[in-house]
Structure 1
Amino acid sequence: MIDRLDRAALDAALEAVHRAGVPGVFAEVRDGDQVWSGAAGVADVTTGRPVDAGMRHRVGSITKTFTAAAVMQQVESGRIGLDTPVGGHLPDLVPGERGEAITVRMLLGHTSGLAEYLPYAYPSLKAFPVLSDTGPESLDDLRFERFDRTELIGMGVSAPPVGSPGVTPGVYSNTNYLLLAELLERATGTTAERYISENVIGRAGLRDTELPTGAHVDGDHSKLYEAWFGMIDPPRDYSVYDMSWVGPAASLISTVSDLNRFYRMLMAGKIVTLSSLAQMRRTRPVVSQEGEVIDYGLGLHPTGAPGQDVFWGHGGTVWGGGALAMTRADGQRQMAVAVNTQRRNTLDASGRPEPHPVDSALAALYRVAMYG
């Protein structure tokens, strides 16, 4: 049998990410029934405990695909209308003309024009995305803060809009996905977390994936080292953190193996129908939190080298950690990568992140993982 995974190249690319400045990195790459998994570096810089490819990990905004799939299930059932005004479902949260203009599709695809609530919830990030004027103090002050979701939504809805509803490019905003969580609750009569757990995580048969209720990651996991653009030196561990600040927008805990299984089943039409999946893969331009214009669907975005196959999935970051999971459109070739550090880039004179060796090393790992 021909081995379609260049295991030596994958091992080398993973090790290069570690050498570039990531304390620990682990990944799984699949091609059909062939699987490679690997890990390089440490889960704890103090004890030297090594990372392992089976570790549970905070995967950030990859959560959005799970939440979007849950919403699409409710669209299939007829309880939610994809192109109906959100004000009809949530008049108390998005009132008046904006509620009439913003549709569920716009929330899913970040074209609602609603601002990000994060700078209002975290006082030291008030100037975000002007990074040079931010500070990391709130990350410590609010480590165990239990946020109320509707209060966070209120911050985003009352903030100056970042665009008009439906106008592109849209602007990526967690406010959209907290509203979708509220929408799920009113449509299903249960919490968004429970619905997603039973009907998305459960339907996919994921054994190591959950939306957490507390501040700790259960099971074997890595510490998470946040640098906040050199303002935290040495980087500090934020693996213990109350994730109510993002909830069903970015709080998911998973493994690289579970992520690959989820996206493989999603692409096969086993989580939502193929018709719903086609809707999720209809993209429009959106400005990411890094300030780049990307193509974004409904909880999914594509990536791929020119002339190569397109992969679909999502990336995510939390304080100190990050992950990326991408699956080829046919579901055959997959990768999921997790790292235990974030924002090691320093800022240039204009306040924008400068290139870091980790960036190019991760890009090289992704190329090897996706294309061999």
Structure 2
Amino acid sequence: MRRVARGIVGVVAGMGLMVVPGVALAAPGNGDRSGLQERLDAVVADGSVGTLAEVRDGRRVWRGASGVAEVGTSRPVPVEGRVRVGSITKTFLATVVLQLVGEGRMGLDDSVEKWLPGVVPNGERITLRHLLNHTSGLPDYRFTLERPNSPKFLEYRWRTWTADEQIQRALTLPPTSEEPGKAYSYTNTGYLLLGQIVEKATGRSYAEEIERRVLRPLHLRNTVLPGTGRRIAGPHPHGYVPTEWEPGKPELVDFTEMNPSLFGAGGEMISTMADLNRFVAALLGGRLLPPHLLDEMKKPAVEGKAYGLGLAWRDTTCGRKVYGNDGDAVSYQTWSFTTEDGRHRAALALTPNFTGDVDPAVDAFLDKAICG
């Protein structure tokens, strides 16, 4: 699920949870990037339990962390730790879909009805392009879920969800637009459908296709699609949800271990900052897609929207445009952005404590990382 789509998490911001003091940590042997640690500490101060980042500038690498890995301890956040990256999963899946388009096995203008007959209303008018760029008009299944501050949300923790089930839940809601391709409305449902279409086209799951087409060729050994696996293997910070057992009395509940089928094809991935930096740079550098399909990926969904086919972009104060994505897996939030030439890269993850708005501090960190 995408960070900016705060339908699940937004209502819990500012609920008065105690801020966990940050413990600054910088990995040894890093290049000198004055100010990065200070900005990382600010992310913790503004509303996170812990945060970690990797910044690359040519051959220089800076890694840092701040805060703590687990509430109630002084254990530092592992600078090379793994996190749930949420909607950055979509960029990986979109890359696979475009590879299949390049191989002639499907087309961007293929209808959903062609691949999944009878699954969604208006499927003959909704194309794969519409699914990729969130202009399908299909509602987002996340709006059928309990919010994390509700104790009922914890019932999802160990449950296995299927894409069919989530899609059917979404279809109980009205469409976000009647005309596909005309209006942008972020929806995780479209990527559940894309996962099913990849399986129809290849005979293998979307996770297997991402593994063999992206993870193995790029040697992204710390990136996995866990399916229904609950644990995060290897070093990692703990993630939390703010559960309100009594009105006005929220409490952070450890949500590190959970069944990621809740997110499915739109957000189940686990990765590291180093792997994310490597992936985005390889994508922009033409290692995964031919130029014409990479260009398609960069086309805005609608005029004025900084989102294309599973790829987002943002401007910086120094004029360097960066591409990548961000993701919200409820208890983890992640950003990964790289300049078009691959020289300047920044990836950051945090575990929110839901006491405030971290976005300005994150924006300041990313701007400093890219602009110096």
TM-score bracket relative to the smaller structure: 0.7 to 0.9
How many angstroms apart in 1 are the aligned matches of 2:73 and 2:88? 29
How many angstroms apart in 2 are the aligned matches of 1:175 and 1:156? 7
The DSSP-based 3-state class of the residue aligned with 1:234 is strand
Q: Report if aligned partners of 1:226, 1:235 keep a CA contact under 8 Å in 2.
A: yes
Q: Report if aligned partners of 2:109, 2:129 keep a CA contact under 8 Å in 1.
A: yes
The DSSP-based 3-state class of the residue aligned with 1:92 is coil
1:270 aligns with 2:293: no
1:107 aligns with 2:145: no
1:67 aligns with 2:58: no
Task: In structure 2, give the amino acid aligned to 1:344.
Answer: T
Structure 2 residue runs of 5 or longer lacking an equivalent are 1-30
1:162 aligns with 2:176: yes
How many angstroms apart in 2 are the aligned matches of 1:207 and 1:30? 19
The DSSP-based 3-state class of the residue aligned with 1:339 is strand
How many angstroms apart in 2 are the aligned matches of 1:14 and 1:326? 16
Aligned with 2:153 (options 101, 126, 139): 139
Shift of 1:232: 6.9
Aligned with 1:118 (options 118, 139, 142): 142
Aligned with 1:219 (options 203, 213, 234): 234
Q: Which residue of structure 2 lines up, in the alignment, with residue 315 of structure 1?
A: 326
Structure number with the higher helix fraction is 1
Q: Which residue of structure 1 lines up, in the alignment, with residue 54 of structure 2?
A: 28
1:368 aligns with 2:368: yes
Q: Which residue of structure 2 lines up, in the alignment, with residue 243 of structure 1?
A: 260
Q: How many residues get paired? A: 340
Q: Which residue of structure 1 lines up, in the alignment, with residue 194 of structure 2?
A: 180
Shift of 1:6: 5.6
How many angstroms apart in 2 are the aligned matches of 1:370 and 1:307? 8
Structure 1 residue runs of 5 or longer lacking an equivalent are 126-133, 287-292, 346-355
How many angstroms apart in 1 are the aligned matches of 2:233 and 2:96? 24
Q: Report if aligned partners of 1:54, 1:256 keep a CA contact under 8 Å in 2.
A: yes
Deviations 1:168-225 (A, max 9, x none): 3310000000000000000000111111111121222101000013111111111002
How many angstroms apart in 2 are the aligned matches of 1:27 and 1:271? 24
Query: CA 1:308–1:231 in 2, change beyond 3 Å: closer, same or farther?
Result: farther
Shift of 1:306: 5.9
Q: Which moved more, 1:178-187 or 1:34-43?
A: 34-43
The DSSP-based 3-state class of the residue aligned with 1:326 is strand
Query: CA 1:228–1:28 in 2, change beyond 3 Å: closer, same or farther?
Result: farther
Task: In structure 2, give the amino acid aligned to 1:365.
Answer: F
Q: Report if aligned partners of 1:227, 1:320 keep a CA contact under 8 Å in 2.
A: no
Q: Which residue of structure 2 lines up, in the alignment, with residue 301 of structure 1?
A: 312
Shift of 1:343: 3.9
Shift of 1:294: 4.0
How many angstroms apart in 1 are the aligned matches of 2:314 and 2:168? 33
Q: Report if aligned partners of 2:130, 2:181 keep a CA contact under 8 Å in 1.
A: no
The DSSP-based 3-state class of the residue aligned with 1:166 is coil
1:36-115 to 2 correspondences below 5 Å: 36-95=62-121, 98-115=122-139
The DSSP-based 3-state class of the residue aligned with 1:340 is strand
Shift of 1:341: 1.3
Query: CA 1:18–1:158 in 2, change beyond 3 Å: closer, same or farther?
Result: closer
- Identity across matched positions, percent: 36
Shift of 1:153: 1.2
The DSSP-based 3-state class of the residue aligned with 2:347 is strand
Query: CA 1:343–1:161 in 2, change beyond 3 Å: closer, same or farther?
Result: farther
Shift of 1:228: 7.0
How many angstroms apart in 1 are the aligned matches of 2:302 and 2:355? 27
Deviations 1:220-257 (A, max 9, x none): 11100223799772322211110111112101100000
Q: Report if aligned partners of 2:230, 2:258 keep a CA contact under 8 Å in 1.
A: yes
Query: CA 1:109–1:343 in 2, change beyond 3 Å: closer, same or farther?
Result: farther
Shift of 1:335: 0.2
The TM-score with structure 2 as length reference comes to: 0.86
